[in-house]
A and B are shown apart, each in its own frame.
Chain A
Amino acid sequence: MEERWSTEHVLSLAPDQASAKAAGKLSAPAPWSGTGCGQGALWGLCKGSGSTPYRTVVELATPAYKCSCPSRKFPCKHALGLLLLWSGGPEAVADGAEPPGWAADWLKGRRQSEGRRTAKAEGVTADPAAAKRRAERRSARVAAGALELRLRLADRVRHGLADQASVAGGWDEVAARMVDAQAPGLAARVRELDTMPQDDQLTEYALLHLLAGAYGRIGELPEPLAATVRARVGFTTETAELLAGPTVRDRWLVLGSRTVAPDGADGGLTTRRIWLRGAKTGRPALLLAFGRPGQAPDLALPTGRLLEAELAFHPGARPLRAVLGTRYGAPEPGAGEAPAGLTPEEAVAGYGAALADDPWLESWPTVLTGVVPVLGPDGWRLTDGRHSLPVRRGSVPEAALWRLAAVSAGHPVTLFGEYGHAGFAPVTAWSPDGRPTGVAQ
């Protein structure tokens, strides 16, 4: 049987606040009939204002949703409401039922198309010679771009960073040149330079110089570091290609997740980060999922659960980002206790060690044990009574930090987050009774 999710997890699937609120109203049994769950799916009929009720199905593993309502939100409020109802317990939605025909059809169709997609990925037959030519062409263009960037950086330093007048066009123009050179990673970093406070500029100049220079002699670098440099410059690796390579099978503990919606109404992608830790290997992993505007990212894993699965890691000197391969069953409840972690002092040393592998690393996933959040004159700090770490400014909203303070109430807690040179960005807090609370947003 599928373990029921928490309300918080269900609400985290909502594409926006309005959907979450609307779903709350549909979470009572009243509008629902014919609900049931079984075979990894959940279904029900929801009475709306029309005469025909909406047919709602949720496939729980992915999760995936289907509803006959006309809403363009995804998942729609009916799917979310049904999940909320189901999360209430077996008295709300009975277990072990057979899906009715309309639900079974969709589920079957979904599984078939999934199978086809896998087959297609495996059966990919490109022209290897042409692919090699394309790759060589791109490498040459990126190398030329990286060289140009180094010259531009040195030029600025020669004339002085304070002398703004000496550059025409600013860094935007250079960023555009990097896009042309097919180095989107360099372009993104360059674009930040114009708006960066002057105190931080030399740091970023130096790291960009280091990155561009590293690409210039990528052939001499050890392969893991070369992979890190390539990824940071902007080369991507196809998921299928990664999954075709070596994978790591483990029971992955979900440490937490953070969903970031694009600013403004320009309709960017919603990004969800999900951090895992292997129960056997102890390896950290980061999964990324994206959602189009108005849609929640397609992957969601409840914090505190264990997922038996194979992960394929992006190559690098410090492998972290991974893609999800074969899963063995649905996420199971975890141990119900906080994961093992580090002291603040160990966390600082851990980030230092990680930097030795990847000098561009901003932060590293870290579980802190026995820390108390304290609000001081310089903002929030996490202390174990011997040392303390600052909470990274602006990394989480003020309201989330107060929820963290409430969970702690002045007592030590276990806290997962990202620690780096700018401080600690909290994601999940475990209260003394071992219950996780999301504090990332």
Chain B
Amino acid sequence: MSTPSAPTTDTWEELRTTALLGTDRRPLPPPGGTPALVASAGAVDRTDPATALLELAALETVRRRAGAPAAEAVEIPAPAGPDDRPELPEAAARRLTALVGGRGGAGAAANLGELLPQWLATARLRGYRLPADLVPPLLDAARARSELRGDVVSLAGPLGHWLAARNPDWRFVSRTVAQTATPEPTDRLWHEGLFAERVTHLTRLRRADPAAALELLRSTWAAERAEDRLLFLDSLQDGLSPVDEPFLEAALTDRSKNVRATAAELLSTLPESALATRMAERARAAVRLDSGRLIVSPPTGCDTAMQRDGIPPKSPTGRGERAWWFGEIIAAAPLGLWTADTGLTPEQLLLLPVRDDEPAGSNEEANGGAGWGDDLREGWARAAVRQNDVGWARALLGPAPRPGRPDRTAGAPAKLLSVLPPAERAAWTASYIEVHGLGEAFQSLGACATPWTPPLSTAVVAALDRAARSGAYPWSHSGVLGMTERALAPDTAPAVEALAAGSTPDSAWAETFTRLAGTLRFRAAMLTELS
């Protein structure tokens, strides 16, 4: 018997209808169902129809509840693929539970949440498998914080993909380039996938086999939409080589302006490319060395050849036209030409006076009368970042600042710093902080690799100490303090504890230092557990 009720009349429905209308208006239904039920229903006293209806309904309710058969099976989907990685050590699993805020998945306290990226990156490098029940809360965390996605998707492994296929909230998993992922053997995703999945596929393939990725992109290039072409082109940045040049050169005549500009920027980072050579010619025409001075004659127009090479005729920020064209040319020209042509080092070139080729006054409108020196330096700085040129970046940053000596780098040097090797970056920033304190150091500190080197950590702790004693409020340094909790070398904990002990008890700084020391200890313990 598949249904508990009789085929002709549904006893329960009859009772319900009568109850809705009232026994004053509708008679009690006759006993129905199985013989046993008819017998029990027949035993009900029907003197008062309302009471009788309640009795019959009670009988039917309990019968339906007790007699319901188990439903049929549902199809069981294929299980998640195996994961051979060793399981996370127990202490580390406990730590992760605390970091993701325990059960319920609600976000963790700010400074614990800040440590999560570090935990994830370390666990991924060690090649651990996560406990299964922690995968969903981490996928939720990565959904909210995209910077966690790469590590979370790697750590979640096959289980993460299996879960994401079932929960639309975690769709990002298939669009995320896992840190260790290898491309799928087929290009099915490329031909059938959503846009983000296609970008992911291309990026993965590019990392594994640059030439194959280029071929794949070329195969469908003509049919792609302009905004898609732009992002696909971006993914060629990984593993860019002269092999890509013909394709990029062709993209310079693309229908979309943004695609043309991106192609030009990519070509300018290949010093041997035809575009770089053309830019070098333009740069030579704009700057020449004459008796120990650099003479600048910025372009007077933006011809079609320049436009084809990615120089927009109008500055997007409304800068003077000639200064704009000049800056674009210098930034796109290979830096090697300056040292090769003049026989001077970047440091020597940067010391040369810069003069205008034309009589004074004619370019003041263009750049506010500051002369071309700043434009040239800025162009070189952009080129150094784009071409990842350590020599030029070092020269442009100048020696690390020393007390009592003005430094030559104006503004935020973070981008140039990121070109330097990590140790040099940290040393430079440490000196900068010793001279200037933490007020302007946020971006430079952000460019330094974590955890910070011992000298840099010491410099930051000393600067915090000076800030505390100068009477500044801790919250005016909250940005740097947040970063410090994540990045300060754990060995610095005793020094920070000493600061906490030396501060006025119960003051804001005492609390700040105590908390910082606590976080450092927490981080140290966290990293030890993962080793």
Which A residues are closer than 8 A to B by beta carbons? Answer: 6-8, 11-12, 14, 17, 20-22, 24-31, 47-51, 84, 87-89, 150, 153-155, 157-163, 198, 202-203, 205-207, 209-210, 344-345, 347-348, 351-353, 355-356, 359, 372, 374-376, 381, 383-390, 397, 399, 402-403, 405-407, 409-411, 421, 431, 437-439, 441
Task: Tell me the count of chain B residues lying within 8 A, CB to CB, of chain A.
Answer: 77
Q: How distant is the Cα of A162 from the Cα of B25 in the complex, in angstroms?
A: 12
Beta-carbon contact of B136 and A402 below 8 Å: yes
| Interchain residue pairs A-B with the least CB separation, the first 6 | A160-B22, A410-B79, A30-B521, A206-B57, A24-B98, A387-B70
Which B residues are closer than 8 A to A by beta carbons? Answer: 15-16, 19-25, 48-51, 53-55, 57-58, 60-62, 64-80, 91, 93-94, 97-99, 101-106, 108-109, 111-112, 132-133, 135-137, 140, 159, 162-163, 166-167, 493, 505-506, 510-511, 514, 517-519, 521-522, 525
Output the nearest chain A residue to B517 by Cβ-Cβ distance: A30
Beta-carbon contact of B132 and A406 below 8 Å: yes
**Distance (Å) between the CB of A394 and the closest chain B CB?**
16
Which of A159, A209, A388, A403 is B22 in contact with, Cβ under 8 Å?
A159
The residues of B that contact A355 with a CB separation of less than 8 Å are 62, 65-66
Q: How distant is the Cα of A201 from the Cα of B519 in the complex, in angstroms?
A: 56
Output the nearest chain B residue to A87 by Cβ-Cβ distance: B94
Beta-carbon contact of A157 and B136 below 8 Å: no
The residues of B that contact A385 with a CB separation of less than 8 Å are 73, 76
**Distance (Å) between the CB of A160 and the closest chain B CB?**
3
- A21-B101, A157-B54, A381-B71 given; 17 more Cβ-contact pairs under 8 Å: A24-B99, A25-B112, A29-B525, A49-B506, A155-B50, A158-B22, A162-B21, A202-B16, A207-B58, A209-B51, A209-B54, A209-B57, A383-B76, A385-B76, A386-B73, A387-B72, A438-B103
Which of A31, A84, A352, A409 is B66 in contact with, Cβ under 8 Å?
A352
Q: Which of A12, A27, A160 has the most CB of B within 10 A?
A: A160
What are 17 A-B pairs with beta-carbon distances under 8 A? A12-B103, A14-B102, A24-B98, A29-B521, A89-B91, A158-B50, A161-B19, A202-B19, A207-B58, A348-B69, A352-B65, A355-B65, A383-B73, A399-B136, A402-B167, A409-B162, A410-B76
Q: How distant is the Cα of A22 from the Cα of B110 in the complex, in angstroms?
A: 11
The residues of B that contact A209 with a CB separation of less than 8 Å are 51, 54-55, 57-58
**Distance (Å) between the CB of B217 and the closest chain A CB?**
35
Q: How distant is the Cα of A28 from the Cα of B109 in the complex, in angstroms?
A: 16
Beta-carbon contact of A403 and B98 below 8 Å: no
Output the nearest chain A residue to B503 by Cβ-Cβ distance: A49
Beta-carbon contact of B57 and A7 below 8 Å: no
Beta-carbon contact of A163 and B54 below 8 Å: no
The residues of A that contact B80 with a CB separation of less than 8 Å are 409-410
Beta-carbon contact of A388 and B58 below 8 Å: no
Say what secondary structure dominates the interface of chain B: helix
Beta-carbon contact of B514 and A49 below 8 Å: yes
Beta-carbon contact of A407 and B132 below 8 Å: yes
Beta-carbon contact of A388 and B72 below 8 Å: yes
Beta-carbon contact of A352 and B67 below 8 Å: yes
**Distance (Å) between the CB of B95 and the closest chain A CB?**
8
Output the nearest chain B residue to A378 by Cβ-Cβ distance: B74
Which of A7, A22, A50 is B97 in contact with, Cβ under 8 Å?
A7
Output the nearest chain B residue to A375 by Cβ-Cβ distance: B166
**Distance (Å) between the CB of A425 and the closest chain B CB?**
16
The residues of B that contact A407 with a CB separation of less than 8 Å are 132-133
The residues of A that contact B25 with a CB separation of less than 8 Å are 160
**Distance (Å) between the CB of B442 and the closest chain A CB?**
25
Q: How distant is the Cα of A402 from the Cα of B165 in the complex, in angstroms?
A: 12
Beta-carbon contact of A437 and B133 below 8 Å: yes
Beta-carbon contact of B77 and A374 below 8 Å: yes
The residues of B that contact A372 with a CB separation of less than 8 Å are 76
Beta-carbon contact of B133 and A406 below 8 Å: yes
Q: Which of A50, A88, A157 has the most CB of B within 10 A?
A: A157
Beta-carbon contact of B72 and A431 below 8 Å: no
Are A409 and B159 CB-contacts (below 8 A) given A21-B112, A24-B98, A159-B22? yes
Beta-carbon contact of B521 and A17 below 8 Å: no
**Distance (Å) between the CB of B165 and the closest chain A CB?**
11
Beta-carbon contact of A28 and B136 below 8 Å: no
Output the nearest chain B residue to A349 by Cβ-Cβ distance: B70
**Distance (Å) between the CB of B291 and the closest chain A CB?**
65
**Distance (Å) between the CB of B115 and the closest chain A CB?**
10
The residues of A that contact B55 with a CB separation of less than 8 Å are 206, 209-210
